[in-house]
Amino acid sequence: MRLRLTFTKTDSLKYIGHLDLHRTLERTLRRAGLPLAYSQGFNPQPKMNLAEALPLGITSECEVMDVWLETHIDLEQAKKDLDRATPPGMQILSLNEVDERLPPLQTQVVAAEYRVTVSGGVTVDLASRARELLSQDSIMRERRGKHYDLRPLIESLSVEENILVMKLSARDGATGRPDEVLKALGVEGEQVHRSNLFFVP
Amino acid sequence: MSNDTITDMNYFEIQHALDRVLLTVSKPGRYAGGEYNQVVKDWSQIQTRVALAFPDIYDLGMSNLGMMTLYKSVNDQNDLLAERVYSPWIDMEEVMRRENIPLYSLETKHALTDFDLIGISLPYEQLYSNVLNLLSLAHMPLLAKDRDEKFPLVIAGGHACYNPEPMTDFIDAFLIGEGEEAIVDVARCVGEWKAQGKVGGKTELLSRVAQLEGFYVPSFYKVDYNSDGTIQKVTPTHADAPLTVLKRIVPVMPPPVTRFIVPSIDIVHNRAPIEIMRGCTRGCRFCHAGMVTRPVRERSVEEIVQAVGEMIRSTGFEEVSLLSLSSSDYGEISTLVKAIGERYAGKNLSVSLPSLRIESFSVDLMDQLKDTKRNGFTLAPEAATERMRRIINKFVPTEQVLETAREIYSRGWHTIKLYFMIGHPSETLEDVQAIADLCKAVRAEGKKIMGHRAQVNAGVSTFVPKPHTPFQWSPVADVETSKQKQALLKSQLRGLKLNWNNPFETQLEAWFSRGDRRLGKVLLEAHYRGAKFDAWHDHFSYETWREAFAAADLDIAFYNYRQRSETEIFAWDHIDAAVKKKFMLQDWQWSQNEKTRVDCRDQCFACGILPKFSQLRQNTPAEAWECPTVTPKELRGQLLVSNTVSLEAIA
């Protein structure tokens, strides 16, 4: 049985990285008593996939994971068991069975939406800075010694009630990072939150 | 009340500051708290608040069973709360000092000075410098005498505290022995005094603490020295301070911790441990734990099996570890291993069972635990010549080591880890050569069975004489001698994985193991020179400590290299670990004559436990201790019970 879970990653959990989150989820699933399916081989691991790594320090309400189980389970009961087993900062938002034959989750992500509370907030004219950034044809940036163009990775950028909302590409090899957009805007994010993940239709 | 407490950042300000800085340090998950199973109580509703501190980083401290045990003991009480504190790593310390963030608790982010009691875990001496740093990060005066009643009471406990003297300048009171009940007693004592408006100030509090079983208040004792630097006498200076402080024990091991806090980041030991037995009956003469944790008490098979189930359910850990000093000696080890193996062990959960005896039976036990990975099998012969094995009283014939090795390799383990010690009393280069020979012989057995895949890893540590052991009179091997012995091993064991201790680090452990309270000055001088994280090879600086000794006008050689006379009064003689000095002296003399003792399950040697705890023994079920039962005087002569000793016979 293949399960798809949507969950939050907030509070202290925003300080743990991708691998640690993986392990935290593994333990959460074990505590919930779900009949995890394990990989074959010398060092069996539970079969699970996370949709899209979340950079350290960012909170989220839209993390998605697939996990394989050895037997069919009752979803309502599983939800209850999971609610007992999640650490603070993690809340299971939804739990569905999905078709076993669907392609791997991480190949299906296309974009992510982030909502950012900017330091200094109202004093900065965010909207005009955003418009100016979007009007550029290319935004050359350097990250870890590599030059790349940030502009095509920004799908949309707007301001809603002093919150900066950005939709960034999240395709394989073309993933926009919110901190890079903030640097390009010349502002600092006080709180960065992932509010949505978009998948191949 | 406004003058009653210290004002530092409040928890809200600390949380806010952390939100600003945590993303600038490595592994911020260490400093955030909020893990599964952490206990967060309503701060405003609880009168007495305890901070439990482990003076090393989260990654290590979170793996410490003692901390979790005390956390449970305190938090199980409705009127108390306990929260955790660990040392920040270098980068976080810099940030905290720069931003003036005080050391805080992980659960609610309260500054340490907001607590009523700080309990510091001191399992080993390499952490001492970190304790000073911890107090400094908590914005507290380092010296106990400079902290008045506005500050939390600072206590320390753990195996290193069986000789608390080097730390007496900094710690208000030490808990000698087992903490499960004692931590609750001292917390209530502090709470009551606080509720009475801190009546009588800190002196009154200390005099109350000094009357609690197992607590040592060092400021109530005066030490006089002889002209040669040895101790002349230790005298209590306060009416409430006992002549000697007898260690505290629990007559029966309390229910084990099962709801471990599950770290959200990778730490040193990712596992749920359970102590299956406390104490050891083997009587290895170098072993501190084996002497200070007597009497031997076991948990029942049912309790362990049930607890393991609860641990798996409540933590989701992938590994469970059955801990004791000598697992093979656990009375029902076969039954236990069979039950755990059948119920829980398998591809998705590994069960580790360290500290097994060197015998084929141990291989059967590991087989039953379905150790499918077969990574390595650990054996600890400690010494390689029969003479040396008699001296240390850990007698395992070489043929038995080889026989066990054959069994291990033939059942599919590729690697055998062999642990030895160098620097035992009267050790010669021949004894060291024998270590190399034994390693090679074990590998040769392996090669016969599985060819070149057979591996031996040798771990060779340097012996440190510990207080309250029969070797407490022995000198420490100096750096040159240790280096010479290590060089011999390195040249002999090429192609074999060999681990050894830095002999300079060994010196530090040795100074403090048998040091006196004059070493407080050394610690302070070393702290001012930046000493911290001495347990971390990259951070330990021998030069710093040498300078600190010079500044304190003390001689390194005095603490480590002299042969102590049999009549010397030791700095820790007023701390009573219940095993008599007379017994240890006899054992020291036997050792010099290569005379061994059998396991004390087979014969009681009257080490001192029974007379010291006779009342407790009488009130405890016979099967709860491995020590024989004690016949109360009035019943003697009417009863004839086997395996019973009279108190006179052992006193």
Q: What pLDDT sits at residue B636?
A: 55
A16, A28, A38 member nearest B29 (Cβ): A16
Cα(B18)–Cα(B12) distance, integer angstroms: 10
For residue range B303-338, list pLDDT tens digits in order. 999 999 999 999 999 999 999 999 999 999 999 999
Amino acid at B467: P
User: Could B316 and A26 be called an inter-chain contact, meaning their C-beta atoms sit closer than 8 Å?
Assistant: yes
Q: How many other β-carbons are positioned within 10 Å of the β-carbon of residue B393?
A: 22
pLDDT band at residue B4 under the 50/70/90 scheme: low
Q: What pLDDT sits at residue B645?
A: 55
Residue B651 predicted with pLDDT over 90: no
For residue A201, what are the contacts with CB-CB under 8 A and spacing of at least 6? none
- Interface check for B26 against chain A (CB to CB < 8 A): the answer is no
Q: Read off the pLDDT of each residue in B72-97 and give the average, rounded to a whole number.
A: 98
Nearest residue in chain A measured CA to CA from B34: A12
Q: What pLDDT sits at residue A119?
A: 82
pLDDT band at residue B634 under the 50/70/90 scheme: low
Contacts of B35 in chain A (CB under 8 A): 12, 87-88
What percent of chain B is modeled with pLDDT above 90?
Answer: 90
How close is the nearest chain B Cα to the Cα of A38, in Å? 8
Residue B426 predicted with pLDDT over 80: yes
Give the CA angle between residues B177, B181, B186 to the nearest 5°.
Answer: 90
Phi, psi of B274 (to 5 degrees): -135, 135
B38, B265, B347 member nearest A16 (Cβ): B265
What the block records as the tokens of A185 is 């805007």
Which residues in A have their CB inside 8 Å of a CB on B?
11-13, 15-17, 19-20, 23-24, 26-31, 33, 36, 38, 42-44, 56-57, 85-89
How close is the nearest chain B Cα to the Cα of A20, in Å? 5
Q: Read off the pLDDT of each residue in B453-458 and give the average, rounded to a whole number.
A: 96
Reported ipTM: 0.94
Q: Which residue in B15, B105, B264 has the most chain A C-beta atoms within 10 A of its own C-beta, making it the best mutation to test that interface?
A: B264
Residue B248's alpha-carbon distances to A76, B179, B215, B223, B613, in angstroms, are 50, 8, 8, 23, 10
B23, B315, B347 member nearest A27 (Cβ): B315
* B63: helix, strand or coil: coil
Rg (CA), chain B: 25
Contacts of A56 in chain B (CB under 8 A): 23, 28
User: Could A28 and B316 be called an inter-chain contact, meaning their C-beta atoms sit closer than 8 Å?
Assistant: yes
A15, A31, A43 member nearest B32 (Cβ): A15
For residue B340, what are the contacts with CB-CB under 8 A and spacing of at least 6? B304, B305, B308, B320, B322, B351, B369
What percent of chain B is modeled with pLDDT above 70?
Answer: 95
Nearest residue in chain B measured CA to CA from A36: B348
Residue B391's alpha-carbon distances to B470, B583, B596, in angstroms, are 11, 16, 7
User: Could B264 and A20 be called an inter-chain contact, meaning their C-beta atoms sit closer than 8 Å?
Assistant: yes
How close is the nearest chain A Cα to the Cα of B318, in Å? 8
User: Could A43 and B32 be called an inter-chain contact, meaning their C-beta atoms sit closer than 8 Å?
Assistant: no
User: Could A31 and B34 be called an inter-chain contact, meaning their C-beta atoms sit closer than 8 Å?
Assistant: no
User: Could B315 and A31 be called an inter-chain contact, meaning their C-beta atoms sit closer than 8 Å?
Assistant: yes
Residue B505: exposure state from Cβ atoms within 10 A (0-12, 13-18, ≥19) = middle
H-only helix segments in B53-212: 58-61, 65-75, 90-99, 128-137, 182-195, 201-210
- Interface check for B314 against chain A (CB to CB < 8 A): the answer is yes
Contacts of B315 in chain A (CB under 8 A): 27, 31
H-only helix segments in A93-156: 126-135
Phi, psi of A127 (to 5 degrees): -60, -45
Give the CA angle between residues B193, B195, B196 to the nearest 5°.
Answer: 65
- Interface check for B262 against chain A (CB to CB < 8 A): the answer is yes
For residue range A50-89, list pLDDT tens digits in order. 999 999 999 999 999 999 999 999 999 999 999 999 999 9
How close is the nearest chain A Cα to the Cα of B30, in Å? 9
Q: What pLDDT sits at residue B639?
A: 46
Contacts of A34 in chain B (CB under 8 A): none
How close is the nearest chain A Cα to the Cα of B372, in Å? 9
Least confidently predicted of A54-68, A137-151, B102-116, B425-439? A137-151
User: Could A85 and B34 be called an inter-chain contact, meaning their C-beta atoms sit closer than 8 Å?
Assistant: no
Residues belonging to chain B: 651
User: Could B348 and A38 be called an inter-chain contact, meaning their C-beta atoms sit closer than 8 Å?
Assistant: yes
**Contact B455/B446 with Cβ under 8 angstroms?**
yes
Nearest alpha carbon to residue B82 among B57, B58, B106, B65: B106
- DSSP annotation string for B175-215: E-B--TTHHHHHHHHHHHHHHTTSTTHHHHHHHHHHTSTTE
How close is the nearest chain A Cα to the Cα of B419, in Å? 27
Least confidently predicted of A136-140, B242-246, B635-639? B635-639
Q: What pLDDT sits at residue B78?
A: 97
Nearest residue in chain B measured CA to CA from A189: B20
How close is the nearest chain A Cα to the Cα of B37, in Å? 8
User: Could B36 and A20 be called an inter-chain contact, meaning their C-beta atoms sit closer than 8 Å?
Assistant: no
Average pLDDT, chain B: 94
Residue that has been written with the tokens 């660990």 in this structure: B86
Residues belonging to chain A: 201
Nearest residue in chain B measured CA to CA from A15: B29
Q: What pLDDT sits at residue B3?
A: 47
Phi-psi region of B361 (alpha: psi -120 to 50; beta: other; left: phi over 0): alpha
User: Could B316 and A89 be called an inter-chain contact, meaning their C-beta atoms sit closer than 8 Å?
Assistant: no
Q: What pLDDT sits at residue B499?
A: 95
Q: Read off the pLDDT of each residue in B585-591 and give the average, rounded to a whole number.
A: 97
Q: Which residue in B16, B26, B36, B62 has the most chain A C-beta atoms within 10 A of its own C-beta, making it the best mutation to test that interface?
A: B36
**Contact A181/A58 with Cβ under 8 angstroms?**
no
How close is the nearest chain B Cα to the Cα of A57, in Å? 6
What the block records as the tokens of B354 is 């360290």
**Contact B309/B320 with Cβ under 8 angstroms?**
no
Q: Read off the pLDDT of each residue in A155-163 and give the average, rounded to a whole number.
A: 93
Q: Read off the pLDDT of each residue in B129-154 and give the average, rounded to a whole number.
A: 98
Cα(B501)–Cα(B520) distance, integer angstroms: 25
For residue range A7-40, list pLDDT tens digits in order. 999 999 999 999 999 999 999 999 999 999 999 8
**Contact B66/B160 with Cβ under 8 angstroms?**
no
Taking the domains of chain A in order of start, what are their residue ranges? 2-106, 109-199
Nearest residue in chain B measured CA to CA from A16: B29
User: Could A87 and B316 be called an inter-chain contact, meaning their C-beta atoms sit closer than 8 Å?
Assistant: no
Rg (CA), chain A: 19
The bridge status of strand A92-98 relative to strand A2-9 is antiparallel
Q: How many other β-carbons are positioned within 10 Å of the β-carbon of residue B352?
A: 17
- Interface check for B23 against chain A (CB to CB < 8 A): the answer is yes
Residue B85 predicted with pLDDT over 90: yes
Q: Which residue in A28, A29, A31 has the most chain B C-beta atoms within 10 A of its own C-beta, making it the best mutation to test that interface?
A: A31
Cα(A72)–Cα(A35) distance, integer angstroms: 9
For A2-106, CATH number out of 3.40.50.150, 3.30.70.580, 3.20.20.70, 3.40.50.1950 equals: 3.30.70.580
Nearest alpha carbon to residue A3 among A46, A39, A53: A46
Same topology, domains A2-106 and A109-199? Answer is yes
- Interface check for B34 against chain A (CB to CB < 8 A): the answer is yes
pLDDT band at residue A44 under the 50/70/90 scheme: confident
Average pLDDT, chain A: 94
How close is the nearest chain A Cα to the Cα of B442, in Å? 26
User: Could A12 and B35 be called an inter-chain contact, meaning their C-beta atoms sit closer than 8 Å?
Assistant: yes
How close is the nearest chain B Cα to the Cα of A26, in Å? 8
What percent of chain A is modeled with pLDDT above 70?
Answer: 98
Nearest alpha carbon to residue B514 among B556, B460, B456, B457: B556
For residue B607, what are the contacts with CB-CB under 8 A and spacing of at least 6? B294, B579, B580, B583, B600
How close is the nearest chain A Cα to the Cα of B16, in Å? 11
Virtual CA dihedral for B568, B571, B577, B580, nearest 10 degrees? Answer: 10
Cα(B32)–Cα(B107) distance, integer angstroms: 8
Least confidently predicted of A123-132, B61-70, B93-102? A123-132
User: Could A89 and B373 be called an inter-chain contact, meaning their C-beta atoms sit closer than 8 Å?
Assistant: no
Amino acid at A60: S
The bridge status of strand A163-171 relative to strand A109-118 is antiparallel
Q: What pLDDT sits at residue B2?
A: 38
How close is the nearest chain A Cα to the Cα of B2, in Å? 33
For residue range A119-136, list pLDDT tens digits in order. 876 666 888 999 999 999
Domains and CATH numbers, chain B: 11-246 (3.40.50.280), 377-501 (3.30.750.200), 577-650 (no CATH)
Contacts of B266 in chain A (CB under 8 A): 19-20, 23
Residue A29: exposure state from Cβ atoms within 10 A (0-12, 13-18, ≥19) = buried
Residue that has been written with the tokens 């005896």 in this structure: B357
Count A/B contacts: CB-CB distance under 8 Å: 73
Cα(B191)–Cα(B186) distance, integer angstroms: 8
Contacts of B32 in chain A (CB under 8 A): 12, 15
The arrangement of secondary structure in A109-199, i.e. its CATH architecture, is 2-Layer Sandwich (3.30)
Contacts of B34 in chain A (CB under 8 A): 11-13, 87-89
